[in-house]
Structure 1
Amino acid sequence: MSERYDLLVKRGTVVLPADVVEADIAVKDGAIAAIEGSIDERLAARTIMADGCLVMAGVIDGHVHLNEPNFGHWEGFATGTAALAAGGCTAYADMPLNGNPPTVHLDALRQKERLAAGSSAVDYRFWGGLVPGNLDHLRELADAGVVGFKAFMSNPGGEGEGRFREVDVAELRAGMEKIAQIGGLLALHAESEAITSGLADRMRREGRMGPLDYAASRPVEAETSAVAEALALAEATGCRLHFVHISSPEAARLVARARGRGMDVSSETCPHYLTLTDRHMAALGPVAKCAPPLRDAARVEALWALLKAGEIDLIASDHSPCPEEMKLGPGLTFFDAWGGIAGAQHTLELMLEEGWAKRGMPLTQLTALLSANPARRFGFYPRKGEIAVGFDADLAIVDPSRPRTIARAELLHRHPHSPYIGRRLSCKVVAAICRGTTVYAAEDGIVCPGAGRHFGAIPGPGHADG
């Protein structure tokens, strides 16, 4: 019997777009060639036995910060994508900061492309940026295939002349007009600079520099007021809009209502807003600092309810690492510490634990939030995001009955700090397959470094570049 397939993933519990079935998956030339109840092993050059395991579409993480060029000492493509692969992620979209230069013009994009080639373990695309003064560069970035453009409504921090800067209302409107003209997508960090900077200044004057003071300096109203302002501008300009890392149900509902009245707008939330609270931030310290900050337990549950109701579109890690001394260095107040959570490696496991195992979210809905929806919104569809014949063979194999405690030693990103260290899980990603190539195996770690490819934009529903 001659071989027809390169790979057979056999006897897994396969999470399809609309159903969960016991099936075998055959792979040929990097794509899914067949999904059947039973396929003869003799037809394949290689077989992976997935007995007792979930086989899911590889996660597509639309929001990571891998920080090259010139900030690879914070996080680089090799280490950051090793963590992503170990978490069952097979494609990602890298944000335009904190590299130096940030990806706000074509030369910076080309630098990033050269550095990622041969270093990324999984497939990738890049975001461009919208900052003061770069309107004339947006078209060239769009033509070069960026996912869309990231902008901040509040100060993103950082130092130096080349740092990524926020836009004011006039600059945001002008950017939206330009992005609408080129059919692009704007990804927006929505917090009011006036509110956050004013409250932060007051906290500093009063000597209130702890974790809960930080949370109070970035209240829910800072998020909702910025979201409302951005929605009004997007409605006026016709700009397609995506809100990153929404932390509050109040803001998520504003976005959902705008979509309900016909706006092309989407939202994401993050595992840390679904698993951690402001009390965790107080207990764990700066390792759990992010912006917007972690919220109270009631809002965590409200976000889960909105996810189940389909009112939040997708989940992304917002992996934003830094050297450990920037979190825990001597003399740093909580306000001084770098605000970003290193979470690339555990998105899928945390969401299976908290969403499926604890809250009963259907696996089909979870895979849509983690894979299909980001694929559609960020231009990976219709080649990625689902387990279907003809799609890239991007698979995450998860043992759902493998209890463990997250340990510092397992972290593969460059600086091994994470608010999830010590957290109990009942599942583990045991393999990640990108275009039919096993890039991660639990027993061996990263087995095919540099296997990732730059994914070109695909026209179709949800295409970000127009």
Structure 2
Amino acid sequence: MPNKQALVVINVYPLSRTDKDIVKGGLTVFNLVIKNGRVVTSDRIFEASICISDGKIAAIAEPGASVEADEVIDAKGNYVFPGAIDSHAHLNDPGYNWREDYSHGTAAAAVGGFTTIVDMPLQNEPALTDGNIFDKKLEHVSPNAYVDYCFWGGLVDYNLGTLKELDDKGCVAFKSFIGPVSPDYVSLSIGQAKEAMEILKSVGARAGFHCEDYSIIKWEEARAKRKEKHDWKDFLGSRPVIAELIATQNIISLARELDAKVHICHVSHPRVAQIIRDAQLDGVDVTAETCGHYLTFSDQDVIKNGSLFKCAPPLRETSAVEEMWKYVNDGTLSCIGSDHSPCELSEKSEETHGIFGAWGGISGIQNTMQAVFSEGVAKRGYSPTILAKSLSEGPARAFGIYGKKGAIAVGFDADLVILDPEKEWEITPESLYYVNQISAFVGLKGVGLPVCTVVRGKVVAEEGRIVGQKGFGQLIKKIK
């Protein structure tokens, strides 16, 4: 059962005296107070009021404490979570905004409870590989963001000389592939990854890797294509767990040898999570994420429904889904990202592109938090603190923004999500804010829904609707 003990010692964060911070009768008047909520942190749940001034959490008050505010939100006994941080999102902007753009993607994020997204450098034209591209991308997307955002920097074979420049600009991590990738990006060899990690170590930066062994996948694809007909079991067989294991182990071995920081993206299987766990216990600085779809769906969904459920690494067996939750709960997988990878419906066409050519990716930025709550808390009985750990604190620590983002604590940005644990839902195409209203999550039913999202003290989404101002979102850089 949730721990409902009250916070015993409250107040008072020293506020600056501005026209928004007035004192009346000895009490500070806050900009916003969220009252009657059950506050969820990474280690406990308690009843409190959250007091906000100038976009920051200024105080946390006991239930019934005398606080005054310009605006009050009654959480009505619902959970109040720290704003979720999407560690892995492809918003495709600039360059491929017919798949997704910042306006639609960040609106969907806000409705779904993500207050910060960490945007990937690929499916951008051009990919984010140097400082000039960084500046142009920032200029392009900043007028359109509803929530805050960070940039992953590109890590390819032609930009090793600009990695430090990108770190100076504010990239929070650097993304590479050890495995096949779309034509607009480049995979690294293990030797190139070693040099890149040496460079990034010199500036204290983290390298992130899509870990699937290139040679195994390409060979298995070729074997499958020699058959007269292909089916979805052939696709699943072309990306076996051993390919993910080998690539992950190679990256961990490099990190151990170089004492470098690495992040393993979208872990799909408990066997992979276990070698990450072993490395963490051995002192290797390796963080890791999984995704909402690996905690919700299985390989049977791919076999039954086809390309809408195609992703890489692929969905795994049902028993693996259950085991993956244990690695989220113990903190091995400290991040749950969406790996939001949108496309037009035509790109998912099996008739046009075949099983191997159909777009591989699942759109999930709007539905990850609700799915994780429903699957993890309501269905499997985990504490709601699992969301605060894996959707907020874990990503904030991994990407160097903890202290500003990632917790409900005095001095942090007032990024908050009110979630109604009793609210039943069914995901429909019409509910999605995406450019292309398609997703493997459509048709999923569950319970527990974000009903109010607050970014830096401003309400940006309510009851499934975007109410914030486009352009309010800000670039968030790594804290140095």
Judge same fold: TM > 0.5, yes or no.
yes
Separation in 1 of the partners of 2:35 and 2:94? 41
Aligned match for 1:95, one of 109, 120, 124: 120
Q: CA deviation at 1:17?
A: 3.5
Q: CA deviation at 1:39?
A: 5.6
Aligned match for 2:57, one of 20, 32, 48: 32
Does 2:201 match 1:176?
Answer: no
Aligned match for 2:441, one of 420, 426, 429: 420
* Equivalent position of 1:45 in the other structure: 70
Q: CA deviation at 1:42?
A: 7.1
Q: CA deviation at 1:307?
A: 1.8
Does 2:263 match 1:238?
Answer: no
List aligned pairs for 1:191-202, cutoff 5 A: 191-202=212-223
Separation in 2 of the partners of 1:310 and 1:189? 20
8 Å CA contact 1:322, 1:338 repeated in 2: yes
The aligned amino acid for 2:116 is A
Aligned match for 1:447, one of 458, 464, 468: 468
* Equivalent position of 2:95 in the other structure: 70
When structure 1 is superposed on structure 2, of 229-238 and 196-205 the one drifting more is 229-238
Aligned match for 1:397, one of 418, 423, 441: 418
The aligned amino acid for 1:349 is Q
Q: CA deviation at 1:180?
A: 1.6
Q: CA deviation at 1:109?
A: 1.1
Q: CA deviation at 1:196?
A: 0.3
1:328-364 deviations in whole A, cap 9, x for unaligned?
3642312111111100001111111111111121122
Separation in 1 of the partners of 2:186 and 2:373? 36
Q: CA deviation at 1:443?
A: 6.1
* Equivalent position of 2:357 in the other structure: 336
8 Å CA contact 1:441, 1:447 repeated in 2: no
List aligned pairs for 1:16-27, cutoff 5 A: 16-27=41-52
Separation in 2 of the partners of 1:131 and 1:55? 40
Separation in 2 of the partners of 1:378 and 1:446? 28
Separation in 2 of the partners of 1:33 and 1:42? 12
Q: CA deviation at 1:40?
A: 6.7
8 Å CA contact 2:38, 2:78 repeated in 1: yes
1:5-61 deviations in whole A, cap 9, x for unaligned?
111111111113332112211111101112112367871111111103111001011
8 Å CA contact 1:266, 1:312 repeated in 2: yes
Does 2:250 match 1:229?
Answer: yes
* Equivalent position of 2:380 in the other structure: 359
Q: CA deviation at 1:123?
A: 0.7
Q: CA deviation at 1:416?
A: 0.6
Query: Pairwise CA RMSD of aligned residues?
Result: 1.5
When structure 1 is superposed on structure 2, of 136-145 and 438-447 the one drifting more is 438-447
Q: CA deviation at 1:445?
A: 2.7
Q: CA deviation at 1:101?
A: 0.6
8 Å CA contact 2:35, 2:72 repeated in 1: yes
Separation in 2 of the partners of 1:21 and 1:170? 50
Does 2:292 match 1:292?
Answer: no
Q: CA deviation at 1:401?
A: 1.0
Q: Structure 2 unaligned runs (5+)?
A: 1-23
Aligned match for 1:132, one of 157, 170, 182: 157
Does 2:30 match 1:5?
Answer: yes
Does 2:81 match 1:56?
Answer: yes
8 Å CA contact 1:439, 1:451 repeated in 2: no
Separation in 2 of the partners of 1:352 and 1:190? 27
When structure 1 is superposed on structure 2, of 40-49 and 222-231 the one drifting more is 40-49
List aligned pairs for 1:156-171, cutoff 5 A: 156-158=181-183, 163-171=184-192
1:89-115 deviations in whole A, cap 9, x for unaligned?
101110110101101111211121112
8 Å CA contact 1:16, 1:388 repeated in 2: no
* Equivalent position of 1:80 in the other structure: 105
Separation in 1 of the partners of 2:67 and 2:455? 23
Identify, as 1 or 2, the structure richer in strand: 2
8 Å CA contact 1:33, 1:390 repeated in 2: yes
Does 2:308 match 1:283?
Answer: no
8 Å CA contact 1:8, 1:41 repeated in 2: no
The aligned amino acid for 1:26 is C
1:377-427 deviations in whole A, cap 9, x for unaligned?
112210111111111110011111111211110001111111111111112
Separation in 1 of the partners of 2:42 and 2:425? 29
Query: Matched residues, percent identical?
Result: 37
Does 2:316 match 1:270?
Answer: no
Q: Secondary structure at the match of 2:391?
A: helix
8 Å CA contact 1:81, 1:121 repeated in 2: yes
Separation in 1 of the partners of 2:477 and 2:264? 23
Separation in 2 of the partners of 1:43 and 1:309? 39
Q: CA deviation at 1:284?
A: 2.0
When structure 1 is superposed on structure 2, of 42-51 and 26-35 the one drifting more is 42-51
Separation in 2 of the partners of 1:88 and 1:358? 20
* Equivalent position of 1:464 in the other structure: none
1:284-340 deviations in whole A, cap 9, x for unaligned?
211111000000001111111222233222211111111111013642312111111
* Equivalent position of 1:121 in the other structure: 146
Q: Summarize the Cα distance change of 1:309–1:200 in structure 2 as closer, same or farther, 3 Å threshold.
A: same
Q: Structure 1 unaligned runs (5+)?
A: 460-466
Q: Summarize the Cα distance change of 1:95–1:250 in structure 2 as closer, same or farther, 3 Å threshold.
A: same
8 Å CA contact 1:210, 1:333 repeated in 2: no
Q: Secondary structure at the match of 2:404?
A: coil
Q: Summarize the Cα distance change of 1:41–1:118 in structure 2 as closer, same or farther, 3 Å threshold.
A: farther
Aligned residues: 455
Separation in 1 of the partners of 2:225 and 2:102? 36
Q: Summarize the Cα distance change of 1:306–1:456 in structure 2 as closer, same or farther, 3 Å threshold.
A: closer
